Structure 1
Amino acid sequence: MTEWVVLLRGVNVGGVTVRSAELRDLLAGLGFAGARTYLASGNARVASDLDAAALRSLLESALSERFGYDAKVLVAPLADVDRVVRAFPFDETDGTRQPWVIFCADGETRDELTDAAASLDPDVDPVRAGPGVVYWHPEKGRSTDTSFAKVVARATYRARTTNRNLRTLRRILG
């Protein structure tokens, strides 16, 4: 059985509300014993014998049906998320910056984002590619208004990415 990290895209913003208790109940109802949720931003851990594609499909369908929105979910084995967190390439102790990890649905998305960042000011938008992710370390308070923030916010990336603060990921990892 694999322990999976489940990251819901675009919940608890823009009118889509999925409360942690309701998410936990949904996961339990799908047969995931011991499902846990974290914070109020669509984060969970489940254990399953399903592969990533089947798990994602099941969760997206169940979330769409239960909460009435076009659910997009990214799933990753817990061990992979642990490696991603450990490989954060910037100084996460720098209190003037926010440590973000952008999970990408595929390598093409990751490459598109890092290619777009290559022409931007690295002091404003420090970006590096990682295994299935893009690491980003903007100044505090700038995560919605930098050039890279505007790239990530494009409609083409909404269904293919989800962002998490490194501190949130550490809480998920426990």
Structure 2
Amino acid sequence: MTRYAAFLRGVNVGGVTLKMAEVAAVFTAAGFTAVKTVLASGNVLLDSPSSAAAVRAAAEAALRENFGYDAWVLAYPLDVVADISAHYPFERAVPEHHSYVTFVSDADVLQELVALADAAGETAARGDGVLYWQVARSATLNSAIGKTMGKKRYKSCTTTRNLRTLDKVLA
């Protein structure tokens, strides 16, 4: 049995409003155990004997069937999330800045995002399957990365969390 963090894309931020208690019930009905939601932004902890890919597929299918939206989920063993967080390459807490991790399941998309950040001169670095980045609070949506994340091409294979959220997921 593996403990996973499942990160739902675009929940309670972009028109898709879900009650986390209902999400937990749907995940439990889908066969996951020890289901716990963290915050209201689509972070779910769960146990499963399946692979991360199988967890992702089952979670997406359950959300689509039960809530009727185009659900996208990225799932990682919790120890992998801890390792990703531990390797954040910049100062973790900078006043008036956000420290982010964008999880990316497509290697080509990750390379595109790294190149985009480099070309824009943004504070970003490639990690193992993630893009680490940091931006002034007032500039998140206007940054090259922020503008790109909303494009359709990236919805199925990326989701972003700030480090404070990851700390709560890992607590």
1-structure distance, mates of 2:162, 2:14: 19
Deviations 1:141-171 (A, max 9, x none): 2110122211222221111100001110010
Superimposed CA distance per residue, residues 65-120 of structure 1 (whole angstroms, 9 cap, x where no aligned partner): 11010111000110110000000111112112100000001222211100111111
Cα deviation, 1:123-143, whole Å, max 9, x if unaligned, reads: xx2010011100110011211
| 1:105 equivalent in structure 2 | 105
Q: Taking structure 2 as the reference length, what is the TM-score of the superposition?
A: 0.95
- Does 2:129 match 1:135? no
- TM-score normalized by the length of structure 1: 0.94
Matched-pair identity in %: 38
SS in 1 for 2:34: coil
Aligned to 2:116: 116
* Contact 1:113–1:152, Cα closer than 8 Å, also in 2: no
The letter of the residue matching 1:162 is T
Structure having the larger proportion of residues in strand: 2
Aligned to 2:63: 63
- For 1:137, what is the secondary structure of its paired residue? strand
Q: Equivalent residue for 1:94?
A: 94
**Residue 5 of structure 1 corresponds to which residue in structure 2?**
5
Question: How much is the aligned-residue C-alpha RMSD, in angstroms?
Answer: 1.1
The residue type paired with residue 124 of structure 2 is V
Structure 2 unmatched runs, 5+? none
Q: Secondary structure at the match of 1:37?
A: strand
Amino acid at match of 2:150: A
- Measure the CA separation in 1 of the matches of 2:93 and 2:13: 28
Query: 1:147 maps to what in 2?
Result: 144
Q: Which runs of 5+ in 1 are unaligned?
A: none
Q: Is the aligned partner of 1:84 residue 2:80?
A: no
The one-letter amino acid of 1:158's match is K
Q: Does the aligned pair in 1 maintain the 2:101–2:162 contact within 8 Å? A: yes
Provide the C-alpha distance between the structure 1 equivalents of 2:108 and 2:77, rounded to a whole number of angstroms.
20
User: Is 1:161 paired with 2:158?
Assistant: yes
Structure 1 ranges of 4+ moved more than 6 A: none
Q: How many residues align?
A: 171
Q: Which has the higher helix share?
A: 2
